[in-house]
């Protein structure tokens, strides 16, 4: 039983990391190939703009929807479905004859990945309640690698085998990511795993599937207790609203710099190649942060001081890019790249501020759904403000304002308390609940 449990535990580790590897591949493989795809499918500037906004918009919509189906299906089954939906979307979009269908199947692919974003935190909560910091560090680091790899490989693969192959190649990774969860699903059925009902029952079933002993109930559950259920309403919780602002404003600032940092630097006199290298540096700084931040923060009762450090990095980087972009550029870019350390911290807090996997799923869906909706506005408003004023001052003032929202939200999200304990999110009678 112990050996079987160890094998299952490693199977789950592989499943979590493979899913994390896929979550940004569909997003970052397209931009380097825009000009190549344009030979076969017309992609005018407006379509390219839509493609740029699709990921955060899809992550927002399907982030909101995923927690509602977590109640009715196991996490394993939903993960398999999410990966297969991503496979269908990625393969079909390279086979279609027109741009409209290309966009439609891109949305379908992103739907699977958006669900995967939400499912990973409760999966970690269910299977590794004693290793949340380590598993979060590992999967966020792999997610960062999965963001960079497709962009690096897209053009060489397209030159060798065509852009269709370059895009569809990553569907194979999604298929591979579904395999461990398919086996976990089959294994849980063979052990007679009960249908989803309560978070506690499902958490116990998940641990039992890996050979971890689960204590039997000491006494029958009274009928009055059976009439009670945890109904999670994250929009009523200051903790959830704070985490949403923290996650959303972090993503808003990150995507704004991804979109506009090269333009800022070329306006300052840097060449396109050098500006591209600075953008790569900005992205690369996040890789060690993804590994270190969850490991350190998981040892802290209240990690808010870490947020203040990252806030100072954001401010220092922005001031440098605004006042002296052509001098000491690498330093300002590194500082700005350290600021998004609040991203892995946000993902860690989803599990550290919930008691159950149902709570983790609700908090994950709400904070990521609303957060990505907020992030959509960043590159758009930054560009409009620059276009309207002709300078970078007002766009940066906009980012400074969002940093105030970020730190305000983090103040509530980092407090050592649990979502389920909030007076508006506690246990309620099923008959008395109206939502």
Q: What's the pLDDT at 4? A: 52
- Grade residue 53 by pLDDT with cuts at 50, 70 and 90: confident
283: in domain: yes
Answer yes or no: are the C-beta atoms of 61 and 376 closer than 8 Å.
no
Residue 400 clears pLDDT 70, i.e. is over it: yes
E strands, 315-370, where? none
Task: Kindly report, residue by residue over 88-111, the tens digit of the pLDDT.
Answer: 999 999 999 888 899 999 999 999
- Grade residue 335 by pLDDT with cuts at 50, 70 and 90: very high
- Grade residue 5 by pLDDT with cuts at 50, 70 and 90: low
H/E stretch holding 175 reads: helix 171-190
Residue 201 shares a structural domain with residue 238: no
**What mean pLDDT comes out for the span 147-155?**
81
218: in domain: no
Q: Which of 183, 213, 243 is the last residue of a domain?
A: 213
Residue 156 shares a structural domain with residue 28: yes
Task: Kindly report, residue by residue over 230-274, the tens digit of the pLDDT.
Answer: 567 778 889 999 999 999 999 999 988 887 888 889 898 888 778
Here the tokens at position 269 are 């006199």
Q: Tell me which long-range contacts 31-35 makes (C-beta under 8 A, separation of at least 24).
A: 31/151, 32/151, 32/154, 32/155, 33/154, 33/155, 33/158, 33/163, 33/166, 33/167
**What mean pLDDT comes out for the span 124-134?**
89
Range of the domain at 352: 234-421
**What mean pLDDT comes out for the span 333-348?**
94
d(CA 335, CA 8): 41
Residue 66 shares a structural domain with residue 106: yes
Here the tokens at position 72 are 């009715």
Q: What's the pLDDT at 15? A: 94
Q: What's the pLDDT at 212? A: 41
d(CA 383, CA 377): 10
Q: Which of 109, 89, 96, 104 is nearest to 41 (CA)?
A: 96
Residue 154 shares a structural domain with residue 28: yes
Q: What's the pLDDT at 111? A: 92
Classify the C-alpha dihedral 14-16-19-25 as positive or negative.
negative
Residue 35 burial class via C-beta count within 10 angstroms: exposed 0-12, middle 13-18, buried 19 and up: exposed
Please report, in angstroms and rounded to a whole number, the separation of the first and last CA atoms in the chain: 43
- Grade residue 214 by pLDDT with cuts at 50, 70 and 90: very low
Q: Tokens 């309620």: give the residue.
A: 428
Classify the C-alpha dihedral 282-288-294-300 as positive or negative.
negative
Here the tokens at position 220 are 């029958």
Residue 226 clears pLDDT 50, i.e. is over it: no
d(CA 426, CA 435): 13
Answer yes or no: are the C-beta atoms of 138 and 295 closer than 8 Å.
no
Residue 3 clears pLDDT 70, i.e. is over it: no
28: in domain: yes
The count of domains in the chain is 2
Residue 48 clears pLDDT 80, i.e. is over it: no
Give 383 or 187, the one with higher predicted confidence. Answer: 383
267: in domain: yes
- Grade residue 28 by pLDDT with cuts at 50, 70 and 90: confident
Residue 21 shares a structural domain with residue 116: yes
Q: What's the pLDDT at 221? A: 39
Which segment of 62-71, 318-327, 381-390 scores lowest on mean pLDDT? 62-71
Residue 323 clears pLDDT 70, i.e. is over it: yes
Residue 301 shares a structural domain with residue 408: yes
- Grade residue 148 by pLDDT with cuts at 50, 70 and 90: confident
Q: What's the pLDDT at 217? A: 38
Residue 45 shares a structural domain with residue 83: yes
Residue 204 clears pLDDT 60, i.e. is over it: no
Q: What's the pLDDT at 93? A: 93
Give 155 or 112, the one with higher predicted confidence. Answer: 112
Task: Kindly report, residue by residue over 406-420, the tens digit of the pLDDT.
Answer: 999 999 999 999 888
Residue 192 shares a structural domain with residue 338: no
H/E stretch holding 185 reads: helix 171-190
Classify the C-alpha dihedral 426-428-430-433 as positive or negative.
negative
Task: Kindly report, residue by residue over 173-201, the tens digit of the pLDDT.
Answer: 999 999 999 998 887 765 554 434 444 44
Q: Which of 184, 213, 242 is the last residue of a domain?
A: 213
Q: What's the pLDDT at 250? A: 96
268: three-class secondary structure by DSSP = coil
Task: Kindly report, residue by residue over 262-317, the tens digit of the pLDDT.
Answer: 888 989 888 877 887 888 788 888 888 888 999 999 999 999 999 999 999 999 99
Residue 297 shares a structural domain with residue 188: no
- % residues pLDDT > 90 (the chain): 43
Answer yes or no: are the C-beta atoms of 379 and 256 closer than 8 Å.
yes
d(CA 180, CA 369): 26
430: in domain: no
Answer yes or no: are the C-beta atoms of 100 and 80 closer than 8 Å.
no
d(CA 76, CA 200): 16
The domain spanning residue 386 has which CATH number? 1.20.1250.20
106: three-class secondary structure by DSSP = helix
Residue 130 clears pLDDT 90, i.e. is over it: no
- Grade residue 30 by pLDDT with cuts at 50, 70 and 90: confident
Q: What's the pLDDT at 189? A: 64
Q: ∠ at Cα 397 (393, 402), nearest 5°?
A: 150
Q: What's the pLDDT at 424? A: 60
Classify the C-alpha dihedral 349-350-351-354 as positive or negative.
positive
């Amino acid at each position: 039983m112990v050996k079987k449990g160890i094998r299952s535990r490693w199977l789950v580790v592989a499943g979590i990391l493979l899913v994390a590897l896929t979550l940004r591949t569909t997003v970052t493989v397209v931009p380097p190939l825009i000009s190549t795809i344009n030979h076969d499918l017309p992609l005018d500037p407006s379509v390219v703009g839509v493609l740029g906004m699709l990921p955060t918009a899809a992550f927002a919509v399907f982030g909101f929807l995923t927690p509602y189906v977590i109640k009715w299906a196991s996490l394993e089954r939903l993960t398999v479905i999410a990966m297969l939906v991503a496979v269908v979307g990625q393969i079909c979009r390279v086979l279609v004859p027109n741009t409209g269908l290309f966009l439609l199947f891109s949305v379908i692919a992103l739907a699977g990945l958006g669900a995967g974003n939400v499912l990973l935190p409760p999966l970690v909560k269910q299977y590794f309640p004693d290793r949340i910091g380590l598993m979060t560090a590992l999967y966020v680091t792999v997610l960062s690698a999965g963001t960079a790899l497709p962009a690096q490989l897209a053009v060489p693969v397209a030159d060798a085998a065509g852009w269709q192959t370059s895009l569809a190649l990553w569907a194979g990774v999604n298929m591979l990511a579904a395999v461990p969860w398919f086996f976990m699903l089959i294994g849980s059925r063979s052990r007679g795993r009960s249908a989803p009902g309560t978070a506690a029952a499902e958490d116990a079933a998940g641990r039992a599937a890996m050979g971890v002993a689960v204590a039997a109930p000491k006494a029958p559950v009274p009928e009055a207790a059976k009439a009670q259920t945890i109904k999670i309403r994250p929009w009523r919780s200051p903790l959830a609203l704070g985490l949403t602002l923290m996650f959303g404003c972090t993503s808003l600032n990150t995507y704004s710099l991804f979109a506009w940092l090269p333009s800022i630097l070329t306006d300052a006199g840097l060449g396109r190649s050098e500006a591209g290298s600075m953008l790569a540096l900005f992205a690369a700084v996040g890789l060690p942060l993804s590994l270190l931040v969850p490991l350190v923060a998981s040892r802290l009762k209240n990690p808010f001081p870490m947020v203040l450090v990252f806030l100072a990095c954001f401010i220092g980087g922005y001031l440098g890019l605004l006042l002296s972009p052509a001098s000491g550029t690498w330093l300002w870019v590194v500082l700005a790249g350290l600021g998004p350390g609040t991203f892995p911290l946000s993902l860690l807090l989803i599990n550290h501020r919930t008691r159950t996997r149902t709570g983790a799923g609700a908090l994950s869906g709400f904070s990521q759904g609303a957060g990505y909706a907020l992030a959509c506005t960043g590159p758009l408003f930054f560009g409009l403000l620059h276009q309207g004023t002709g300078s970078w001052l007002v766009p940066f003032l906009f980012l400074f304002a969002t940093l105030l929202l970020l730190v305000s939200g983090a103040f509530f999200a980092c407090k050592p308390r649990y979502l389920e304990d909030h007076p508006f999110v506690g246990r309620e009678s099923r008959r008395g609940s109206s939502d």
